[in-house]
């Protein structure tokens, strides 16, 4: 797993994307062989997040050919023309996620980014979690809703609301590169991992 793409779009939640991005970049500096990029759904010079932060993506998702995709959430419950709900309705991003998973990529959703995984059909019959405000929507998709901060189902992962993206990212660092690298990242960021990580083989407290 070498190429990591953090996926953003108009109306994404800033911390959903920037938190994992910083974790992964720090992991790369600590020895993880990751090439981390920020990818937009479509070709664009700038994407504006839900709180007004403007970012310049490294390019469109279609050009990333990433081994790991981390999808931000944001603005799901507003049902507006920007955010996760709007991207789910457009369908382009869910289709891209399904295609990436089909070719062997691991796909992870932060907060209501998990609902985009659900729309892509990646959570059907699988354990998952999302922001508490969208739990009923997740349950209606046929996913098995789990009470955990991070749910690791191998090639598909989900995390709860907003700050849980940090725990998801640190968990992925530990899973792929070992606890020593994960601990170095957590110390560098002065971050204390929270909550439980659910896996099919059992859950663990971190």
Alpha helix ranges (H) inside the chain: 14-29, 84-90, 92-102, 113-119, 135-139, 164-177, 179-189
138 with 145: CB under 8 angstroms?
A: yes
* Angstrom distance (rounded) from CA 118 to CA 120: 5
pLDDT in the model for residue 201: 65
**Average pLDDT across the chain, whole number:** 96
Average pLDDT of 134-142? Answer: 97
Domains of the chain: 3-205 (3.40.50.880)
- CA dist., res. 171 & res. 167, Å (int): 6
Whether the predicted pLDDT of 204 surpasses 80: no
Give strand pairing partners of 152: 157, 199
Instruction: Give residue 172's pLDDT band: very low, low, confident or very high (50, 70, 90).
Output: very high
pLDDT digits (tens, 9 = 90+) for 142-163: 999 999 999 999 999 999 999 9
* Alpha carbon distances (Å) from 145 to 119, 129, 158: 15, 6, 11
Q: Report d(CA 87, CA 183) in Å as an integer.
A: 35
pLDDT band, residue 50 (cuts 50/70/90): very high
* Region 84-98 average pLDDT: 98
Average pLDDT (88-103) is 98
């Amino acid at each position: 797993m070498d190429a990591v793409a953090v996926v953003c779009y108009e109306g994404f939640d800033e911390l959903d994307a920037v938190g994992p991005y910083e974790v992964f970049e720090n992991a790369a500096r600590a020895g993880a062989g990751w090439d981390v990029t920020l990818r937009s759904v479509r070709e664009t010079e700038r994407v504006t997040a839900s709180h007004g932060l403007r970012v310049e993506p490294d390019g469109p998702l279609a050009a990333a050919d990433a081994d790991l995709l981390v999808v931000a959430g944001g603005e799901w419950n507003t049902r507006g023309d920007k955010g996760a709900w709007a991207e789910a309705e457009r369908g382009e991003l869910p289709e891209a996620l399904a295609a990436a998973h089909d070719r062997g990529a691991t796909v992870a959703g932060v907060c209501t980014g998990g609902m985009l995984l659900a729309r892509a059909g990646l959570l059907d019959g699988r354990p998952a979690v999302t922001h508490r405000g969208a739990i009923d929507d997740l349950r209606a998709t046929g996913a098995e809703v789990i009470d955990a901060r991070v749910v690791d189902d191998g090639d598909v992962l989900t995390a709860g609301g907003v700050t849980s993206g940090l725990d998801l990212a640190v968990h992925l660092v530990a899973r792929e590169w070992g606890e020593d690298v994960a601990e170095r990242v957590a110390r560098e960021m002065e971050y204390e991992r929270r909550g439980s990580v659910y896996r099919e083989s059992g859950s663990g407290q971190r």
